[in-house]
Amino acid sequence: MNNQYNTSSFLQINVFNLSSESVLPAFLFATLSYMIILFCNLTLILTIVLNKSLHQPMYLILLNLPMYDLIGSSALFPQLIKEILKNSGIMQYSACVAQAFFIHIYAAGTVFNLSAMAYDRYIAICYPLQYSTVMTNAHIMRIITIVWMSCLVLIAVLFFLLLRLPRCRSEMTHVYCDNPSLLTLVCADTTINNIYGLLIVALSQLVANGIVFYTYLWILITCFRSKRSDTKAKALQTCATHLIVFLLLECLGLFTIISYRLNNVSPHFRRFMGLSTLIFPPTLNPIIYGLKTKEIREKVLNFLKNRMFSS
């Protein structure tokens, strides 16, 4: 039996077990969630790309956030919707690995990109006179490149360590594929994988939380020292928007990671937290930035008005 699992290219996914009455509501919920995510994030991307007035460092870095959201949601929802409709309980191993890879790219990329956005706000608010000379186009491209390359290298090594190990199991117990769930299928020593996985989590959290804590501490100090109430209010509004998005992702991600390490956690709670990480941030991020950022909100409203009147 183990040999069959070692050579099999399919996995058994027995986490849904939907009744005939619950298939339609589950399908509608998943489809509607995915459509909302696609619409909101594509609207944010097109708004920034098509408006030259938004081709500024803050928005160019922000542009990458909906890209990561689309990567994560597109890795989850098509497979999820397909399984809801077919209820086959079978998934190709290669598709599972690909899904896990892109979900980890989404998670790491979002955290690193939010850190880059915090750095941008720090320079803009604490050193406004030097902002244009520091945050040049070349410097922005370096930051974006570092964020993307860091994610790709770290996650590529993570999955290289995974794929070198033999499999002896084929039953998935999680609602989607990720590195911890794939490690449960392995029949070899996973100590190196676990150490490297924890190292990535610790490093990313240390870097991200360190940057955010340091930058926003000095942003708050600078704002309260400022005598201009309008500047203080605008800076605090921008920071509050960023912190809401950052804390939402951090809390959901932290609960998900902890749930994997605790054996007595309900599998339903673990699945709910895992899905929440891939549903709520990609849905709320573009809405929060679209509503709270005046420049983006005005451009989106103008775009929608022009489309409505032109049709």
Number of domains in the chain: 1
Q: What is the mean pLDDT of residues 235-258?
A: 76
Output the pLDDT for position 45. 92
Q: Is 2 a member of any domain?
A: no
Phi, psi of 266 (to 5 degrees): -60, 135
**Strand, coil or helix: what is 175?**
coil
Q: Is 30 a member of any domain?
A: yes
Residue position matching structure tokens 């070349």: 138
**What value does the CA radius of gyration of the chain take, rounded to a whole number of Å?**
21
Q: Is the pTM of this model over 0.75?
A: yes
- Mean pLDDT of the chain, nearest integer: 84
**CATH code, domain carrying 256:** 1.20.1070.10
CA-closest candidate to residue 177, choices 75, 260, 30: 75
Model confidence at 26: pLDDT above 90 = no
User: Burial level of 19, CB count in 10 A (0-12/13-18/19+)?
Assistant: exposed
Residue position matching structure tokens 């409505």: 308
Model confidence at 4: pLDDT above 50 = no
User: From the centroid of its chain, how far is CA 60?
Assistant: 17
Q: Is 225 a member of any domain?
A: yes
How many angstroms separate the CA atoms of 16 and 176, rounded?
11
Output the pLDDT for position 212. 87
Model confidence at 83: pLDDT above 90 = no
Q: Is 125 a member of any domain?
A: yes
Q: Is 11 left (phi over 0), alpha (psi -120 to 50) or beta?
A: beta
How many angstroms separate the CA atoms of 85 and 88, rounded?
9
Spatial contact of 116 and 147, defined as CB atoms under 8 Å apart: yes
Output the pLDDT for position 19. 74
Model confidence at 281: pLDDT above 70 = yes
- Give the tokens for residue 208: 């991200």
Q: What is the mean pLDDT of residues 273-290?
A: 84
20-26 long-range CB contacts below 8 Å, 24 or more apart? 23/84, 23/85, 23/87, 26/84
Confidence of residue 309 (pLDDT cuts 50, 70, 90): low
Q: Is 234 a member of any domain?
A: yes
Domain that holds residue 22: 10-299
Q: Is 61 a member of any domain?
A: yes
How many angstroms separate the CA atoms of 311 and 308, rounded?
5
Give whole-number Cα distances, 220 to 206, 212, 217, 243, in Å: 21, 12, 5, 12
* Residue % of the chain over a pLDDT of 90: 31
pLDDT tens string 110-167: 999 989 998 998 998 888 889 999 999 899 999 999 999 999 999 999 999 999 988 8
Q: At what angle do helices 267-292 and 229-261 cross, to 10 degrees?
A: 160
Spatial contact of 8 and 170, defined as CB atoms under 8 Å apart: yes
Q: Is 285 a member of any domain?
A: yes
Q: Is 198 a member of any domain?
A: yes
